[in-house]
């Protein structure tokens, strides 16, 4: 992912996940900190204390993104051939769901790989994940279909598929 697209992804994730300097329970009951870092799966480095600093939050996010990208490269090597907006959609979903969770979107992933983006968006929209994350899913589905990442999706968006 090029540096400009990475900066846009980081801004998207900071908006979608929020930024917390002390531990909190996320919506799925996992103890988290920073930008959606699951502390059960990825504990803090030894010696770190709360509240975290901006530098520490950024370091954790960088590590989490590197881990997500490595897993995506192993499971979906074609994801980097997509245009910048659609790369961010896949990375955002993988960050939120985990790559294992993203891999359950078989219809959507197959459609993405074929370039059938309206079908991919419709499959994404018709999921428990979309119902759980609400506007985040609306934004990502719209971006997948239209190759444009909007800050706010038009009301009553539904995929054209």
* Whole-prediction pTM: 0.92
Would you state the pLDDT for residue 153?
66
Confidence at 158, pLDDT banded by 50, 70, 90 = low
- DSSP output for 83-138: -HHHHHHHHHHHHHH-HHHHTT-HHHHHHHHHT-HHHHHHHHHSSHHHHHHTHHHH
The candidate with the shortest Cα–Cα distance to 100, out of 34, 149, 57, 41, is 41
CATH 3.90.1300.10 is held by the domain 1-79: no
Q: Which two tokens stand for residue 59?
A: 């370091």
Residue 70, Cβ neighbours under 10 Å: how many? 11
- What pLDDT digit, counting tens, does each position of 32-91 carry? 999 999 999 999 999 999 999 999 999 999 999 999 999 999 999 999 999 999 999 999
Structural domain boundaries of the chain?
A: 1-79
């Amino acid at each position: 992912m090029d540096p400009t697209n990475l900066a846009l992804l980081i801004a998207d994730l900071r908006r979608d996940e929020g930024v917390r300097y002390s531990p909190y329970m996320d919506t799925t009951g996992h103890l988290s900190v920073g930008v959606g870092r699951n502390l059960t799966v990825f504990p803090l480095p030894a010696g770190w204390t709360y509240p975290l600093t901006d530098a520490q939050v950024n370091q954790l996010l960088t590590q989490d993104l590197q881990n997500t990208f490595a897993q995506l490269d192993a499971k979906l090597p074609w994801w980097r051939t997509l245009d910048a907006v659609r790369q961010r959609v896949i990375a955002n979903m993988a960050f939120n769901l985990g790559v294992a969770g993203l891999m359950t979107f078989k219809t959507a992933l197959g459609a993405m790989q074929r370039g059938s983006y309206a079908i991919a968006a419709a499959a994404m929209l018709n999921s428990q994940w979309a119902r759980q994350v609400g506007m985040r899913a609306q934004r990502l589905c719209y971006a997948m279909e239209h190759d444009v990442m909007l800050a706010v999706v038009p009301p009553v968006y539904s995929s054209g598929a």
